[in-house]
Each structure stands twice: as structure tokens, then as C-alpha cells.
Amino acid sequence: MIATGDAVLVLNAGSSSIKFEVFAMDPAPVPRFAGQMEGIGAAPRFTAQDAAGRRLADRRWEAGGAPGDHRAALGVIIDWLDGVLQGRRVAAIGHRVVHGGPELAAPVVVDAAVMDRLRALAPLAPLHQPHNLAGIAAAADRFPGVPQVACFDTAFHRSHAWEADTFALPPEFYDRGIRRYGFHGLSYEYIARSLAQTDPALAAGRVVVAHLGNGASLCAMQGGRSVDSTMGFTALDGVPMGTRCGQIDPGVLLHLMTTEGMDPAAVQALLYGHAGLKGMSGISQDVRDLQASTDPRAARALAHFCWRVRREVGALAAALGGIDALVFTAGIGENAPAIRAAVCDGLGFLGIALDAARNAANAPDIAAAGAATRVLVRPTDEEAMIAHHVLALLQRSENA
């Protein structure tokens, strides 16, 4: 049972990082502390701050120094939390899990059977799923008996119509789970929830959300529900990303294997780790590095990224039968005015036009005066969404 004053810990484990946030029940989740361990396995750095943004910790290790894996990194986080929680009980732990497959379409309390099902999905999200599950295992070791709740990035998209989710394959493949799932669902759900609170009329309409970060996708929402998404069976599909290719002709993959002699492992390594902005530019996966570079490959990579995002905005507007608002979120979406401007350039046929000054200032509403379609910049908060799900699920369990 979660009581007022208890804490909920949220963990978001990635390939080389663990983000965390602590919420106090008051009685709704109130953020208290947040931070991350990044560079796990290379040159780790631990940072933490309070809800007001005041830096409380900043520790670095040399390359090859501890912590060397996710379990050790979580140990550093928990040791630090022991000092700031001041006896506050950790009553539950919520985890972002990228892939829930066709069956896990809502948050669940993790047990051995759930872990087995999630491990079987790891090949569909190799950059994320194994590390998500490592975070769950490590947290269970440090907090024995505390409920662990898995929240899925795919769950928000389970409202799609069949025609949006199926591939043009014989139906038995769909029945075996080979279908379009969509990802970044916790981020999209947070944006939908936030819009419903601040602008209910807009939230009820046709909204395209662009979650643009190292991982990037777009989602079409009608009435706060996902109608379509650019990502599909795996988190490779859609627009190009930091190191991932985005949409690619399947014939390219056949060619790489049959003519170029690449085995499946080499193709996977290429598509997940050596493609996208990093692969195109040969420089970096970080948009900031590419914007600062004078290398023409950097400019071409960014131009392709913006072209693909713009194309998907148009496609998702078609899926909705029109568009009332375009929302930019996540690291690039929230902080890169030049990217937003390049994406919106040419979308005037959808009623999209930007106010250059407001866009440069990362203002919440960046549409030009009189534009038919609103263009918004909104922060996302997957950790807050997870905390909400943890509380709701455990309260339902207590009342059942």
C-alpha cells in the first residue's frame, strides 16, 4: 500500500545510461529529485538535482572506472538516494520498458512470468529492452519485496485500427505478432494528458506530435488517442535518428545480405548503431555537433532528417483528415529552433507558419499570428507519466 509521504522511484534505463526520478506521494506524485548516470561502461558521470533544478551531485569517473555496468550504476544511484530520502520509504518502483508486444498493453506488476515475456521481445528492441530489464533486476536486488511496475512505450498505440498496424503480409504473420507497434508512447501519453489539462479543445482535435531526440518518431492523435505512428515493428522505422536508419526499403537489406555478404548481426549493427545522423555525417549523432560543423556531410544529414520529419507530418495529417496543431517535444524538438524551422518550411499548405522570434526563443506557442494551425513546443516527462501509472495501478490493486 502506498501512503502519503512514501516515495515512488522511477527508472529509465538506456543502453549506456540510467535516468531516475523520485516522487513523493502527497497524495499525488510530486517530483523531489532527479538525475542520471550516463556513460556506463565508458567514462561514467553521475548528476542529480532537486525539483527546483539545484545541482545536488556531479561525480565523474575516468574511462574504465567504476561503475562498469547497470547494476553497479544503480548501486551508485541508490547509495546517493539513501542520503537524501531521509528515511522516506520507497513503496514502489516504476520502469520504462520499450516493448510490450501484442499482449502487454497496460502497466503491469513484474513477476517471473512477465520477465520471461519481456526477454522474448528483446530482439525487437536490442538497444533498449535488455537494459530496461537489467534495471528491473538490479532494482529488485536492492529493494526486495517492493513492487516493480513495467510501463510500456508500445501501450499508447494499441488504439490503432487494424489497417494502420498491419503489414501487407498474409494474416498469419499479424496473428503471430508481426505488426506495427509504435514507440515513445509514454512521451506521447504525457503530451496528450498535458494538452487535455491546459487546452481541452485542442486536445480533442487532430494533433501531430514530433518526439525528436536521439530516438525520433511522430504520432498522430485524435482526441488524445494514438491513430498512427511513424515507428513500426521495431524502433528502427520512420524518420532517421541519432544512430538508427529510419525507414528503409526492405530490398536494401536483402541486397546487403545476398550481394554485400553481410550476416544478420552485421546488418543489425549497421541499422541500429552506424546509420542515422551519425552514419550519414560520419561525425556525430548529436544535432548540436552537426549544427556547429562546417563539414558539408553534417548539413546534408540535417537536411535529410528535416525532410523526412516534414514528410511524416504531411502523412500523419492525411491519416487524421487534417491537422489542428503540430507539437514539438523531446531534446531536439524542445531546443533546436533551426530544426523546427526547417521542418515547418514548406508546410504552409497545412496552415503551418512560424513566428521567427518566438521560435528562436523556444516559446511555448511558435505559430505566426493568424496561422490556421497552431505550432507548440512542449516539454515531455516520461518519468512523471510512469509515476502516475504506478500509483494508479497499485491503487486499483488495493481496491480490487
> Are 98 and 235 spatial neighbours (Cβ–Cβ below 8 Å)?
yes
pTM: 0.92
Give me the pLDDT at residue 28, please: 79
Q: Does 210 share its domain with 143?
A: no
Q: Which helix (H) or strand (E) holds 222?
A: strand 216-222
Q: Does 137 share its domain with 242?
A: no
Q: Of 152, 174, 189, which one is at a domain's C-terminal end? A: 152
Domain at 13, CATH number: 3.30.420.40
Residue 63 in this model has a pLDDT that exceeds 70: no
> Are 333 and 362 spatial neighbours (Cβ–Cβ below 8 Å)?
no
Distance CA 208, CA 228 (A): 10
> Are 295 and 344 spatial neighbours (Cβ–Cβ below 8 Å)?
no
Give me the pLDDT at residue 326, please: 98
The residues that are catalytic are: 153
Count of all residues that appear for the chain in the document? 400
Looking at per-residue pLDDT, the higher value among 3 and 108 belongs to 108
Give me the pLDDT at residue 69, please: 80
Question: Does residue 182 fall inside a structural domain?
Answer: no
Q: Does 15 share its domain with 139?
A: yes
Question: Does residue 141 fall inside a structural domain?
Answer: yes
- Residues 378-391 have pLDDT tens digits of 999 999 999 999 99
Confidence of residue 173 (pLDDT cuts 50, 70, 90): very high
| DSSP alpha helix (H) spans, 35-109 | 70-85
- Residues 319-332 have pLDDT tens digits of 999 999 999 999 99
Q: Does 204 share its domain with 124?
A: no
Question: Does residue 294 fall inside a structural domain?
Answer: yes
Q: Does 276 share its domain with 341?
A: yes
Structural domains in the chain (count): 2
Give me the pLDDT at residue 400, please: 62
Q: Of 95, 129, 152, which one is at a domain's C-terminal end? A: 152
Question: Does residue 178 fall inside a structural domain?
Answer: no
Q: Does 148 share its domain with 206?
A: no
Q: Does 63 share its domain with 122?
A: yes
Q: Does 133 share its domain with 55?
A: yes
Average of per-residue pLDDT across 144-153: 94
Question: Does residue 344 fall inside a structural domain?
Answer: yes
Q: Does 217 share its domain with 360?
A: yes
- Residues 93-103 have pLDDT tens digits of 999 999 999 98
Question: Does residue 230 fall inside a structural domain?
Answer: yes
Question: Does residue 106 fall inside a structural domain?
Answer: yes
**Poorest-confidence range of 79-83, 189-193, 314-318?**
79-83
Q: Does 145 share its domain with 219?
A: no
Q: Which residues touch 243 (CB under 8 Å, ≥6 apart)?
A: 214, 272, 273, 274, 275, 276, 277, 278, 279, 285
> Are 310 and 230 spatial neighbours (Cβ–Cβ below 8 Å)?
no
Give me the pLDDT at residue 26, please: 76
Q: Does 352 share its domain with 221?
A: yes
Structural domain range at position 125: 7-152
For all residues of the chain together, what is the average pLDDT?
93
Q: Does 145 share its domain with 218?
A: no
Q: Which helix (H) or strand (E) holds 208?
A: strand 206-212
Question: Does residue 244 fall inside a structural domain?
Answer: yes
**Poorest-confidence range of 68-72, 200-204, 300-304?**
68-72
